[in-house]
Structure 1
Amino acid sequence: MLEVKLHDIGEGMTEGEIIHYLVKPGERVIADQPLVEVQTDKMVAELPSPGAGTIKEIIISTGTTVAVGTTLLYIEGEGSLEPVSEGKASETPKEEVPVLLKEKNEFVSSFNRVLATPYTRKIARDHHINIEDVTPSDPSGRVTEEDVYRFMKGEQLAENEAVSTIVEPEVLAKPISPDEIPFRGIRKQIAKKMTKSLFTIPHVTHFDEVNMTNLLKLREELKKEGVHVSVPAFFMKALVFALKDFPVFNAELDEENDRILLKKEYHLGIAVDTKEGLIVPVIHHADKKSIQQIHDEMKCLNEKARDGKLAAADIQNSTFTVSNVGPLGSTGATPIINYPETALIAFHKTKKVPIVTENDEIIIGHVMTLSMSFDHRVADGATAVAFTNRFASLIEQPNKLMLEMI
């Protein structure tokens, strides 16, 4: 008997919520066939079958949050005369393999699921739609969320016609229920992590302004030469140099052993707003990448996050997190630190404002506000100001940033 347990699928997770089973008791499965969708604090992941067999029993019901190591279901292995433990399943003598192959040749798998992301599947489930009934518009055969919504509109039309036959007084007699949004999945995991962060870390938020005029001019000049690089890519590179000068912000507090761990790797998390909630993919080893490489990777990670295609490796081991909310119109905030990191910086809206030069002349420039939340147990306000000053100097004089990279 194969025992399928919840295992750590990334970033040292300790628990996960069972979102949806992709199989039923009595159904036959093949090796590596997805069995269940599990929600971690960052993503929805599918757990594959460890081998071929028949689903014997599902132990944990959907909507339940369980610890890593918990048994979720049992699979009776193909060709087994008697149930055996998971440990014995791997000790099957080699001479039995032909028998297993023969049985597999006669076995027609029910694993014929359509291609779709976990998020698209969730939309279908939430509206009681069998995703296999949805016709894909993508040439690859992948069902998109737009396909599900189109299918759903047809279903709603039928429901509306059915409702129209109800006698109006009976409808009015029924109390109107409030709208509900399920509090589960990524949204619930975000809530748990934010609560832990806020009640564990004494937050202090420092606000500052950065003159963006010269950087925006440089970016326009690069555009004319056919080089397209986003402003946040410059931010990420400047942050690497600032973190090297102030390593206390690229750190983690280890309270149990009374020490502050100064990380020697620069893995920058980028907060991405998705339909499922806030997800933080990571640019690993940002110190070893050019501004162009950072730009390309940020673009790729953003697309993967919004399409629900992030892998576990894409969201692991961040040492410092960045939130770029300026394009949304934000003028300020007090962001919550991505526990167990020490700090988080948020970039807000850039505005055209009058600027007084060193010669007391007034010009029209571009100024961006930023807010930086930090762990007051680890760092003090003066250090935070010095950190943002260092960052601002590299952005306000991008030639300095170029020199740092030589």
Structure 2
Amino acid sequence: MLEVKLHDIGEGMTEAEIIHYLVKVGDTVKIDQPLVEVQTDKMIAELTSPCSGIVKQIIFDPGSTVQVGASLIYIDAFEDGRTQHQAINEKNRNAKTDPPPPGHAENTSPIPFMRVLAAPYTRKIARENNINLEDVPAADPSGKVTEEDVYRFLNAQKNENLPDAVVSQPTIHQEFPDEIPFKGVRKKIAEKMTKSLFTIPHVTHFDEVNMTNLFKMRENLKASGESVSVSAFLIKALVISLKEFPIFNAELDEENSRILLKKNYHIGIATNTESGLIVPVLHDADKKSLKKIHNDVKGLTERALDGKLQPFEMQNSTFTVSNVGPLGSTGATPIINYPETALIAFHKTKKQPIVNEQDEIVIGHIMTLSMAFDHRVADGATAVSFTNRFASLIEQPHKLMMEMI
């Protein structure tokens, strides 16, 4: 008998909540077949079968919170010389079922392992709405079912059950539940934010950055066939600034009375997902070109939204950025991603009159930013110098060429 245990799938993980079992007692499973979905403080993950065999026992109920190392499932693994076909035949012989009707041939062939491509969060939505993912058409040519596909299918089902007159009318009121569970990712976010806010004396510095020249450079690159996101330029400028002001790429070790200046530049990318705030990490950002940063951030964001991030992709950040401008934000006092020293948030870019070097009034693109920092580690004057250096690189983007890899 083989035990399937909850193993550590993330840095510092000690427990996880069982979301849903993908098998039941008596099912025949193949090696690497997903068995159960669990939710850690950072993501929803699937635990797979280490062998082929028959599920004999499920220990915990869905919704239970279990510690790392706890046994979740017992599997009777197939022995040498015993095939899956033989195991299913044995199961059928021992099952107490009514005899098959005359002319009915008993099906003893193995049940194939078929699984619809979908992220764990998409499966969660489908389960909550009693939808079989196999019935949901996938818009993606790869066959992957997304949450948009599930919602589209759900709305189509609702409309089928309504009279035409009702279907044609727009929805006026949206129903919301009286309460929602405070657990999983949302609870872990709350715990981490509370620890950060009550441990670190936060100070927030606000500033403005003229994005006009950067936008012109991006348009020129685009015209030449090269597309690079604004975020890639911002991250590149941040890394250069962090090298010149290493105090913000640091961690306070109070126990040993020291400030650890990190030599690696691992940039956390705060990402708003359906499951809550997730921070994938762009590792070694200082060693990457603008194009590489663009592609890597895009991939990390997509995997975060799909719930497909690997544990190592959410570990060891040294500085975090939050790009909330596309959401319409004009300002905020962000909470630092503990135990880091600082976090910078980029807000909305607006067109507004500015005075250029020739004392002419022109229209410029001005972005606001807010930088929260640990006042135990750094002072306000240092934060101002840091953002001034960052702004100079963005406002004169040709200076970034000196740092290209």
Change (3 A) 1:184 1:155: farther
Can you list the C-alpha shifts for 1:61-109, whole angstroms capped at 9, x where unaligned?
Answer: 2222333222222223334xxxxxxxxxxxxxxxxx3346885797824
Which of 119, 130, 133 is the equivalent residue of 1:131?
Answer: 133
Correspondence for 1:6: 6
Change (3 A) 1:108 1:201: farther
Q: For 1:139 and 1:239, locate their aligned partners in 2 and report how far apart those are by CA, in whole Å.
A: 38
The secondary structure found in structure 2 opposite 1:7 is coil
Q: What is the aligned residue count?
A: 376
Which of 121, 139, 145 is the equivalent residue of 1:143?
Answer: 145
Change (3 A) 1:151 1:405: closer
CA contact (8 A) 1:19 1:185 kept: no
The secondary structure found in structure 2 opposite 1:401 is helix
Which residue type is aligned with residue 149 of structure 1? Answer: Y
* Alpha-carbon distance, 1:357 to partner: 3.7
Correspondence for 1:83: none
Change (3 A) 1:283 1:202: same
Q: Structure 1 length normalisation: TM-score?
A: 0.84
Q: How does 1:262-301 map to 2 (within 5 A)?
A: 262-301=261-300
* Alpha-carbon distance, 1:29 to partner: 1.7
Change (3 A) 1:278 1:379: same
Which residue type is aligned with residue 396 of structure 1? Answer: E
CA contact (8 A) 1:30 1:109 kept: no
* Alpha-carbon distance, 1:2 to partner: 1.7
Range with bigger deviation, 268-277 or 328-337: 268-277
The secondary structure found in structure 1 opposite 2:186 is helix
CA contact (8 A) 1:20 1:37 kept: yes
Q: For 2:133 and 2:352, locate their aligned partners in 1 and report how far apart those are by CA, in whole Å.
A: 52
CA contact (8 A) 1:41 1:190 kept: yes
Can you list the C-alpha shifts for 1:155-214, whole angstroms capped at 9, x where unaligned?
Answer: 4357768xx9xxxxxxxxxxx995443434433332232222222222211111112222
Which residue type is aligned with residue 81 of structure 2? Answer: P
Cα RMSD after superposing both structures: 2.7
Matched, 1:383 2:385: no
Q: How does 1:6-405 map to 2 (within 5 A)?
A: 6-79=6-79, 97-99=80-82, 103=86, 108-109=110-111, 111-156=113-158, 178-405=177-404
The secondary structure found in structure 2 opposite 1:98 is coil
Q: For 1:333 and 1:31, locate their aligned partners in 2 and report how far apart those are by CA, in whole Å.
A: 49
CA contact (8 A) 1:114 1:131 kept: yes
Which residue type is aligned with residue 151 of structure 1? Answer: F
* Alpha-carbon distance, 1:238 to partner: 0.6
CA contact (8 A) 2:78 2:84 kept: no
* Alpha-carbon distance, 1:154 to partner: 4.9
Correspondence for 2:169: none
Change (3 A) 1:337 1:64: farther
CA contact (8 A) 1:41 1:193 kept: no
Range with bigger deviation, 253-262 or 231-240: 253-262
Amino-acid identity (%): 70
Q: For 2:370 and 2:22, locate their aligned partners in 1 and report how far apart those are by CA, in whole Å.
A: 43
Change (3 A) 1:404 1:157: closer
* Alpha-carbon distance, 1:140 to partner: 3.7
The secondary structure found in structure 1 opposite 2:385 is helix
Which residue type is aligned with residue 40 of structure 1? Answer: T
Q: For 2:396 and 2:213, locate their aligned partners in 1 and report how far apart those are by CA, in whole Å.
A: 7
Q: For 2:209 and 2:40, locate their aligned partners in 1 and report how far apart those are by CA, in whole Å.
A: 36
Q: For 2:187 and 2:266, locate their aligned partners in 1 and report how far apart those are by CA, in whole Å.
A: 25
Change (3 A) 1:380 1:223: same
Q: For 1:184 and 1:156, locate their aligned partners in 2 and report how far apart those are by CA, in whole Å.
A: 29
Change (3 A) 1:151 1:220: closer
The secondary structure found in structure 2 opposite 1:340 is coil
Q: Structure 2 length normalisation: TM-score?
A: 0.84
The secondary structure found in structure 2 opposite 1:142 is coil
* Alpha-carbon distance, 1:301 to partner: 2.0
Can you list the C-alpha shifts for 1:212-238, whole angstroms capped at 9, x where unaligned?
Answer: 222222222222222211111111001
* Alpha-carbon distance, 1:334 to partner: 0.8
Q: For 1:255 and 1:2, locate their aligned partners in 2 and report how far apart those are by CA, in whole Å.
A: 44
* Alpha-carbon distance, 1:358 to partner: 4.5
Q: For 1:233 and 1:252, locate their aligned partners in 2 and report how far apart those are by CA, in whole Å.
A: 24
* Alpha-carbon distance, 1:290 to partner: 0.7
Q: For 1:7 and 1:238, locate their aligned partners in 2 and report how far apart those are by CA, in whole Å.
A: 39
CA contact (8 A) 2:53 2:84 kept: no
Change (3 A) 1:200 1:230: same
Can you list the C-alpha shifts for 1:10-34, whole angstroms capped at 9, x where unaligned?
Answer: 2332222211111112222222111
CA contact (8 A) 1:29 1:110 kept: no
Can you list the C-alpha shifts for 1:45-65, whole angstroms capped at 9, x where unaligned?
Answer: 101112222222222222223
Q: For 2:335 and 2:68, locate their aligned partners in 1 and report how far apart those are by CA, in whole Å.
A: 27
Q: For 2:141 and 2:177, locate their aligned partners in 1 and report how far apart those are by CA, in whole Å.
A: 40
Change (3 A) 1:194 1:356: same
The secondary structure found in structure 2 opposite 1:60 is coil
